[in-house]
Each structure stands twice: as structure tokens, then as C-alpha cells.
């Protein structure tokens, strides 16, 4: 059996290969070697700390690690005060025996679904390095797909786990908001932020989720697909869908149908229209990010990615009263959506309407904005309506395509169990 230390050395060497360029912002070779040696010692005497003991894990570059600044993908944060202690999720990973190999690259301040970063460089997509990696957990998705980490820990505010998972052909899981503690993670939008894993299997994501959430570990229970009730929200969320994505999605539904899954259309366009009206003044993320960055958004403007600065600045125009009404309306719509989904087990739709586009095609602001909005459109539903979601890779396409499953808030474990059954049938 290969030792964990030998496996780690292989991964560290792989981080120096051209495909891994810009994937990591920081590596922890010595700390990782110490953790790997400790895991090997436990293995030799038959001791295990749990499912992540000795597993190679990367963390997104917005989690606090004691003694170093948390840059959040930004040049501004390179001079930040070093973190006094590890973020709770990092501490939990260490206690679980995870071997943390390094921090992965990301969109600046986690505010893009495409994964571009002018400060640290943009990681190339694992399937085609000339294409975008997806964001904002860009390095996380590429690292798992390339195998430099078994599990990558990311954040998801509008799709930032599920988008890079879909575009790089891996599994990405967004827990219900606030199930995993957000302390020690540089925020984008505290109302929408979630912390979750990317991995090559649903089971690996479930293992990581138990550690991140502090819940008791248990293997996923087998779920029979027969009579599973799946709603497909056709309408707005299926417009402008790339033919390859549409074909892969319909083929997946067809295969599930042969398992006697009960698939039916479900109306969501009315709730989407009401949410758009409620947030017409500015996106929730822009308003909350404007408050977070208020102390330096003017003084450090030149150091920002201009596209990120523009999206944050949009939130500054929203008054406190408008924001309060916006969030009150959102709470009502969350309840309405929960009622709407009561009669089904989950929603199914493409994780992204389009596959990864060429990086070069994003040079112009207009193309960037249009593509970013389209990339985030489907996944954002899960955050705005407080759902839990997972993206599963659909094999056999020219470029990676993701199948997204969404379930009601709090049904995280049930969703993972269903996703594991779907994965076994489709992947």
C-alpha cells in the first residue's frame, strides 16, 4: 500500500506541472508532510480519526490560517493583519487528520462565476487550459479534477462551488446556508454564503461535509430511485442553454426515467420574477459586499479588479430601508418556494447553461458581464431561495457538463443520499 507521505509527495510534484499553473496561491509542504507522517503512523497501528484521516485536502484562499494574511484572491489583502487562529473549518479538518496541501486560487473576493483573477493569474480549466475554470472557487475545481487534492473546500454564494465543479467534471456540494460555520472565512454576502466541498464522488463530499458541519459521520444510506419525485423547472432557467448541455441533461433525465423516477415539470418562473423584482435595486451580494468593503473601496480602488469593484459599488446606492424590505421579501419568497417544493424530492436542471468558454473571449467587459450572469443564473436559485444543492458530472461530452440537483433547506443528508444513487446510475 502506498504511504500517505509518498502520495503527498506525488501531489506536491504535480503542483509544479504546467496544468497546475495558478491553481494554488500558497502551498504548505512541511506542514502537510508532518500531517501525512502522522496519518501514516496511525495507519500502521490501526488507528483512524475518521473518513478524512490522511486525505489530501486543499482550502480556498479565503479561509484563515493562523499566522498569515487571508488574501481572498486580492492584492489588497496581501498586507492584511495575519490571522490569529485557524478558521473553524480549517481546525476541524486538522482534527480529522486531513492533510492540507495548500490554498487554492479564486475570483477576487469570490465575486465572479467565471474564475478569472488578474492578481494571481487565472487557472486553466482541467479539461482545456485555454478555457475558464469557473468561479469563484476556481483553483478548487481544477485541483480536484487534476488530482492535486482529493477534496477541495470552497464557498458558494451564487454557485461558486457548483459552477467550477460542473465546468471541471467533478462533484460539488452546497450545504444549506449556516450549517457550516462561516467564522474565519472572508465574506462576500453573509446572507448567501455557504461552505462546502468539491471531490470526485458524492461519498467524498458527504465525508467532508460531516467534518465541516461537525455532525456525526455515517455512511450514506442506499436510496432506491424508483418513485423518486423530480421536478424540472422549465422556462427561464432553460433559455439560452447550449445544445450540448441541453442534450446531456435530457439524456440524463431519460436514463433516470428508465429507473421509474417520476419526472414532471414544475413552475418556478413566477417566484423567480418576484425575486428579481425584490432585488431590482441591486443584488443582495452587492449590497452586503458594499458594507464589508466600505472602509477601503475608495482608497484602494486602483488595486481592485475593476469588474469586482464595479459590482461591489453597485450595492452602495441601496439605502438601509430598501435593503430591509429586500430581505423581508426574500424571506417570504423562501417560504413560498419551500411550500412549492413540498410535493417533490428535488429539482433537476443543468448546473450551468453553457460549458466553459475560452478565457480570451472574456477580454471585453460586455462579454464578461453577459457570460457571468448566464453562468450564475441557474445555481443562484439555490442561494436566493435557501436551498441545498449538488452538481454531478455528466460523462461523455466534449466538455464537462454538470447536472444540478436542489432540495429544500435542511435536507442536506437526504440530498446527498439521492445524489449518490443518481451518480451510480449516470456517472
Whether 136 sits among the annotated catalytic residues: the reply is yes
Euclidean distance between CA atoms 120 and 124, whole angstroms = 12
266, pLDDT greater than 90? yes
Contact 64, 185 (CB under 8 A): yes
Euclidean distance between CA atoms 191 and 357, whole angstroms = 29
The per-residue pLDDT of the chain, averaged, comes to: 97
Q: Can you point out the beta strands (E) in 123-268?
A: 151-156, 171-174, 194-199, 229-232, 262-265
Euclidean distance between CA atoms 121 and 132, whole angstroms = 12
Q: Which of 58, 107, 136, 149 is catalytic?
A: 136
301: left (phi over 0), alpha (psi -120 to 50) or beta: alpha
Q: What confidence tier does 218 reach under pLDDT thresholds 50, 70, 90?
A: confident
398, pLDDT greater than 90? yes
What is residue 57's three-state secondary structure? strand
Please report the pLDDT score of residue 170 as a whole number: 98
Range name among 187-196, 213-222, 358-367 with the lowest pLDDT average = 213-222
174, pLDDT greater than 90? yes
DSSP 184: T
Q: What confidence tier does 1 reach under pLDDT thresholds 50, 70, 90?
A: confident
Q: Which of 58, 107, 160, 213 is catalytic?
A: 160
33, pLDDT greater than 90? yes
Cell numbers for 318, please give them.
Answer: 441601496
Please report the pLDDT score of residue 412 as a whole number: 98
Please count the other Cβ atoms lying within 10 Å of the Cβ belonging to residue 214: 12
Please report the pLDDT score of residue 305 as a whole number: 97
427, pLDDT greater than 90? no
Q: Which of 20, 60, 138, 189 is catalytic?
A: 60
Cell numbers for 302, please give them.
Answer: 486602483
Contact 104, 61 (CB under 8 A): yes
Q: What confidence tier does 222 reach under pLDDT thresholds 50, 70, 90?
A: confident
Cell numbers for 16, please give them.
Answer: 509544479
The DSSP string of 261-316 is: -EEEE---HHHHHHHHHHTTTS-HHHHHHHHHTTTTTTTTGGGS-HHHHHHHHHGG
Helix boundaries (H) for 279-408: 284-292, 306-314, 320-340, 365-384
Whether 160 sits among the annotated catalytic residues: the reply is yes
Please report the pLDDT score of residue 251 as a whole number: 97
Whether 60 sits among the annotated catalytic residues: the reply is yes
Mean pLDDT on 359-376:
98
Structural domains of the chain in order of their starting residue, each with its CATH number:
4-213 (3.90.1300.10), 229-279+329-426 (3.90.1300.10), 282-317 (no CATH)
Euclidean distance between CA atoms 131 and 129, whole angstroms = 5
Euclidean distance between CA atoms 116 and 386, whole angstroms = 26
Q: Cβ neighbours of residue 332 under 8 Å, at least 6 residues apart?
A: none
Q: What confidence tier does 136 reach under pLDDT thresholds 50, 70, 90?
A: very high
Amino acid at each position: 500500500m502506498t504511504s500517505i507521505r509518498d502520495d503527498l509527495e506525488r501531489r506536491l510534484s504535480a503542483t509544479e506541472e504546467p496544468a497546475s499553473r495558478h491553481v494554488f496561491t500558497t502551498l504548505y509542504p512541511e506542514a502537510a508532510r508532518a500531517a501525512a507522517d502522522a496519518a501514516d503512523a496511525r495507519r500502521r497501528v490501526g488507528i483512524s480519526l475518521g473518513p478524512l484521516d490522511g486525505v489530501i485536502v486543499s482550502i480556498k484562499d479565503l479561509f484563515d490560517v493562523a499566522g498569515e494574511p487571508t488574501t481572498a484572491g486580492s492584492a489588497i489583502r496581501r498586507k492584511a493583519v495575519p490571522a490569529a487562529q485557524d478558521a473553524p473549518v480549517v481546525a476541524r479538518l486538522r482534527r480529522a487528520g486531513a492533510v492540507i496541501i495548500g490554498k487554492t486560487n479564486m475570483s477576487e473576493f469570490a465575486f465572479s462565476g467565471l474564475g478569472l483573477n488578474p492578481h494571481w493569474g487565472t487557472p486553466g480549466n482541467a479539461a482545456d487550459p485555454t478555457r475558464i475554470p469557473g468561479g469563484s472557487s476556481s483553483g478548487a475545481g481544477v485541483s480536484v479534477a487534476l488530482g492535486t487534492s482529493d477534496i477541495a473546500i470552497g464557498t458558494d454564494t451564487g454557485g461558486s462551488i457548483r459552477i467550477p465543479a460542473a465546468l471541471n467534471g467533478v462533484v460539488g456540494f452546497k450545504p444549506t446556508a449556516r450549517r457550516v460555520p462561516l467564522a474565519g472565512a472572508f465574506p462576500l454576502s453573509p446572507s448567501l454564503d455557504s461552505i462546502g466541498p468539491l471531490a470526485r464522488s458524492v461519498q467524498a463530499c458527504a465525508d467532508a461535509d460531516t467534518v465541516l458541519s461537525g455532525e456525526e459521520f455515517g455512511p450514506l444510506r442506499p436510496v432506491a430511485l424508483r418513485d423518486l419525485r423530480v421536478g424540472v423547472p422549465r422556462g427561464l432557467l432553460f433559455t439560452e442553454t447550449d445544445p450540448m448541455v441541453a442534450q446531456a441533461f435530457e439524456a440524463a433525465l431519460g436514463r433516470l426515467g428508465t429507473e421509474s423516477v417520476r419526472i414532471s415539470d414544475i413552475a418556478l418562473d413566477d417566484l423567480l420574477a418576484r425575486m428579481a423584482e425584490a432585488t431590482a435595486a441591486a443584488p443582495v451580494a452587492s449590497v452586503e459586499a458594499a458594507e464589508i468593503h466600505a472602509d477601503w473601496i475608495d482608497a484602494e480602488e486602483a488595486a481592485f479588479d475593476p469588474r469586482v469593484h464595479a459590482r461591489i459599488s453597485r450595492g452602495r446606492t441601496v439605502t438601509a430601508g430598501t435593503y430591509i424590505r429586500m430581505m423581508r421579501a426574500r424571506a417570504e419568497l423562501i417560504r413560498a418556494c419551500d411550500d412549492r417544493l413540498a410535493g417533490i424530492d428535488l429539482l433537476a436542471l443543468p448546473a450551468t447553461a453553457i460549458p466553459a468558454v475560452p478565457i480570451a473571449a472574456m477580454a471585453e467587459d460586455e462579454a464578461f458581464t453577459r457570460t457571468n450572469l448566464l453562468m450564475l443564473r441557474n445555481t443562484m436559485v439555490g442561494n436566493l431561495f435557501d436551498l441545498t444543492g449538488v452538481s454531478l458530472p455528466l460523462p461523455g461530452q466534449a466538455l464537462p457538463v454538470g447536472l444540478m440537483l436542489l432540495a429544500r433547506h435542511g435536507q442536506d443528508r437526504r440530498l446527498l443520499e439521492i445524489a449518490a444513487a443518481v451518480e451510480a446510475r449516470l456517472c
